[in-house]
Chain A
């Protein structure tokens, strides 16, 4: 990033980067993006922030062909084929030369991933039967970036099988070369100069669930988008708001005593479309929407929906997003914080991470619709998105859809299924038929 180029207006600079080849094709090391510092520095020996995206195909996967598709797609995403390195001041990423290996799934999801002491990239691609899954370390990419990668692998797989693809949609064409815009830090590209802020912990209803670190219980609820839309329509809310309201209502129904603090649901927002950036790295920002029952026990679902309506839209106005990400970028650019050795930064950021995690009750991540090329889409039965647990949040909700099929996945590292049961029972009672599948069943 030379001085002359950063002096360009942002839009011109984006156009320029989009037309240039990615410098990662030749460079071995590259900086970690602004949001990932948190994931890299807050990691623990037996835990790192990992999430999982998966797709269920209409036939069992041919592993040799899928390995070839993975190899081809990996070349298209140089920023993903990297591993974390601890530097003196910051963590950074190092390109790995090894081809990512496709493995047959033989363990529970979200088992800890070797990050620094490995030659494999910091993600894991596995297959089992018809399901192809990608578990990604959050410092490498976010869910939309990972879905792009997964879509590209699947599209390449069908291309190798002879399918013709005209419009790649969410997938990337493996024959193209990566652009500089895709692999640059999108937060730095969009941020404007402003003052850094200290994160503060919000007052939130927080339920400490018993958790087991060796345990990932994933429950998928498959439903039709049209049914869900029909259920949300009377309340005039979006699907994300509706599902948040269902989760908040379930927390209220579950609570043994009246809830006096606001129940907050943290929702990551994909910023790619807002800022017109095609990125294969992280470019999301977490916002939260919430409802304060103020100790009442007679809260109706409609009341929650009315409270949530428009909250996310207001928070995610472009100026607000820009202010948030600019503050974070300024904190990273701060000359003082830059000179602090990484182990000290870790202490501060671990605490910041804890604060941010305790500022909301649970996560709900809605990827939206996975758009695949027309010749590939009929072969993919459903898309799945599962959030890994964190040391403070053993429960997470995430959903993704393909066509009219939406999969709401609940991941918990606790055997207690109360929350999942309440959420899915609420949906079926609201007239949304749900099909349940779990990795733990008899």
Chain B
């Protein structure tokens, strides 16, 4: 066992983990932050995307030990301080960017990473950035639209809801 200490959504947390403990398991089982979803566990689907030191990574393909000392952000820390949805989350709701919601935490975390890097992406750039996020429900269209809207761009010209 190794002890790890990291900042998760602004709070310092510690725990004892095995070498093989995945970051996704540490978040879900030890910290009870179950918003980070496990869709595939094989680095394909992106439901588990979190930010480690500001970068989007797949929590199912990283060990908890590797996040020792890091600054981690998960979906649980995305809402505004008063508990209202942040601009990306609100845009997903407004534009029907989710159906079952399973992929949504990863989508929101990827979108946040994209908009930090590229505040006004083109539709093509949004689609390219979501290459590693799979959604079984929506057909992606409204997810792309929500992210474009969250970036402050006019999405009225993008086809049907």
Are chains A and B native binding partners rather than an unrelated pairing? Answer: no
Interface, chain B (partner A; CB < 8 A)? none
